[in-house]
A and B are shown apart, each in its own frame.
Chain A
Amino acid sequence: MIKKIFFILLLIFSFFVSILFGETYIPPNVLINPTGVYLIILENIRLPTVIATAMIGSSLAICGAIMQMLLRNPLMDPYISGTASGGAFGAVLSYFLLVFNLPFAFLIYVSPLIAFVFALLSTLLTLSIGRKTGVYGLVIGGVVVSFIFSAFITIIVTLVSIKFPFIPSINFWLQGQIVIVNWYYDIVLLFLTIMLIIVGMKQARKIDLVAISDEMAFARGINPNRYRIFWVIIVSVISAYIVSIVGIIGFIGIIVPHIVRRMIGGSTTMLVPYSALLGSPILMLANILSSGLLGTVIPVTSITSLIASPIIVYIMVRGIAYKGS
């Protein structure tokens, strides 16, 4: 009970702090009765961005937890499916067309959509590679697809850098940055997050069953490989959408489920709601650091990487990754 209250208090605290400390500080007394420019910032920028951060944190944490259960590997992350690289490639590609005045340069205006399409494409590519090779083939397929799209991104980034040598704007897609998210994106995110939580909770027992063994899943009438593919598609759709609006945000899917497992428990019925509850504050706090830690905006993945690396090392040293979760 105390842990549950702690999680809820942490969520409230991080939400409040995120409202105050973004790239621009909003004094608490202004927050009580916001007027003028602060009201505009709150309404148009800060509030939708903080809400989006909370939902992105929840979604990524749940996605990570479910993938880890289904693939029996606590180091799995939604991005292993190659989704992130595909999404980043889509965004960078639309920039490339614009920079070099190539046909279809108008795609820059629907850049998030292009990112989304390529993220989905990369996931389907991963699935087709892993279809006949099972769980581990899927993982290897994800890595290969990531390499392919990363290679394309490198080529495009190099060419763009030559045309505009001083412009590092593409970093935004590659390292993740939650600075401004519009209300429109919030509505879609809200729908996806609620859907993920509901489906995750309803399917928790099935996920647990597949996590225990394929034989038991078959005995209960579940085809484990098909079931995994079903979830990989859901996770990819959500990850792709997130990548398309804020770039690649890594490791939340590893950090949060690990903490939940240590503090609450390892079953899916616990992992899904508590990952949702803890994912939000972790990403909100990481985003505060990324928004103003060094006096400028730095990519949020660089912060989450620093938090995740000791956890990953711990999991590897303890051999948890080989024993299954």
Chain B
Amino acid sequence: MKKTIAIAIAIVIIAVIIGATIGLYYYYYKPSSSVSSQVSYYPITVKDASGKNITIYSQPTRIISLAPSDTQDLIALGLGKYIVAVDYYSYLLLQMLNATNLLPKNVTVFSPSLNLNITGIVALKPDIVVDEIGLIGSQASLLSQAGITTVYTNADFASNYTEIENWILLLGKVFNRNQQAQQLVNWINEKIKAFEAKGNSTVGYLLWINPDYTFYTAGSGTFIDAIINLAGGINVFHNSKGYPVLTPSNLLLSNPQIIIAQELTNLTYTYYMIRNMPGIANVSAYQLNRIYVMSENLPTFLLNEPGPLSVYAIEMVKLIILNQAPSYISTQWVKNTLNVTLPVFE
């Protein structure tokens, strides 16, 4: 009898332990990781970069991302497995990082085109399309006419990290990944804190040198300007706004100590254009041999695609300013030195 009671008590204790374990598991983990149990979260209405209110009625499980900054955000929010198609440049970025495995194997990659592949998008039957409003422009109406739910961000035109983080939080809200979005924002802020520096080295950034030696640069209100500041530099073209076209005269007058130029299709041509720029021999950066050319691949992507990975651009520019970088900033150097990794918060 005593034996029977002992067995019964043991069964009850085991049952309680198992029940408590299952209960705790559901309490702590299931609400944020299961898609099927989140029905109650939707419908949800958000205001996106287009200024319109977008209502999402259920958890999107077929996502199309059409901008590299958005693709970074979505993957970092643990949504990579739901992405059914991406733009060419998003995929290119992941290839550079050897991280295409973050997307499904059968993901569709749209060919590079100036026009939206609207039929290709419709054929994939997406629940939602995420795109950058600054890139899609007037073609946005095509998506709405096709009846496709689209959420627009505007990270590509962000002027600081706070704006990027706001778009991440918006995507977190749209996809019921609020917790992951906050984790990602925290990760970004930690990285900024680790990478940022103070200094007063003057930096001239040459976004693109035209055949007549005029050049595009990044002025105030641009993301590149913010990165230069965070890296401990002073952007000599800060007084210009946006992305102005300037001339060698402007470069001579501003006389930067460091010049960072983006590669113009190939390195030989880039050096040729810089060295033949009228008056360049009188610029401090030239005299100090502090002209750096950034590969058109990963280094340029880090600076030009304001997503989570762009935090590494702070460290990259900081190393340039500290004279700890080679004159040619290659993809391999960036990968080896900075250990560029896209975090994924499941």
Contact = CB atoms under 8 A, between A and B. Distances in A.
A179 B212 contact: yes
A91 interface: yes
Contact of A172 (B211, B240, B246, B252): B211
A200 interface: no
Contacts of B208: 167, 169
Contacts of B6: none
A98 B265 contact: yes
Residue of B113, B208, B250, B252 contacting most chain A CB atoms (<10 Å): B252
Interface in A258-308: 295-297
Contacts of A22: 247, 249
A208 interface: no
Contacts of A98: 265-266, 269
A172 B247 CA distance: 13
Contacts of A177: 212, 214
A23 interface: yes
A23 B265 CA distance: 27
A169 B114 contact: no
B112 interface: yes
Interface string A146-189: 00000000000010011111110100110001011010000000
Interface stretch (A41-49, A59-67, A74-82, A214-222): A41-49
A95 interface: yes
Interface in B191-227: 208, 210-214, 216
Contacts of A158: 114
B326 interface: no
Given A95-B211, A111-B211, A182 B114 contact: no
B214 A180 contact: yes
Interface string B284-295: 000000000000
A37 B212 contact: no
A162 B113 contact: yes
A40 B282 CA distance: 8
Contacts of A99: 265
A23 B246 contact: yes
A303 to B, nearest CB: 15
A163 B245 CA distance: 21
A91 B211 contact: yes
Nearest to A169: B210
Contacts of A108: 269
A247 B214 CA distance: 13
Contacts of A91: 211
Interface string A128-160: 000000000000000000000000000000100
Contacts, number: 88
A99 B250 CA distance: 27
B272 interface: yes
A246 interface: yes
Contacts of A44: 248, 278-279
B265 A297 contact: no
B245 A297 contact: yes
A109 interface: yes
A33 interface: no
Contacts of B253: 24, 37, 41
A179 B211 contact: no
Contacts of A105: 266
B245 to A, nearest CB: 5
Nearest to A164: B265
Contacts of A29: none
Contacts of B211: 91, 95, 111, 169, 172-173
Interface in B42-58: none
Contacts of B247: 22-24, 45, 179-180, 297
A91 B211 CA distance: 9
B286 to A, nearest CB: 12
Contacts of B272: 109
A37 B250 contact: no
Nearest to A105: B266
Given A98-B266, A180-B214, 16 more contacts: A22-B249, A24-B249, A24-B250, A24-B253, A37-B255, A45-B247, A45-B279, A95-B211, A101-B265, A108-B269, A165-B112, A166-B304, A169-B216, A172-B210, A180-B278, A297-B214
15 contacts: A23-B249, A23-B250, A24-B247, A24-B249, A37-B255, A40-B252, A45-B248, A45-B278, A162-B112, A162-B113, A169-B210, A169-B216, A180-B248, A247-B212, A296-B246
Interface of A: 22-24, 37, 40-41, 44-46, 91, 95, 98-99, 101, 105, 108-109, 111, 158, 161-167, 169, 172-173, 177, 179-180, 182, 246-247, 295-297
Shortest Cβ-Cβ A-B pairs, 7 listed: A24-B249, A169-B210, A44-B278, A162-B112, A23-B247, A44-B279, A297-B245
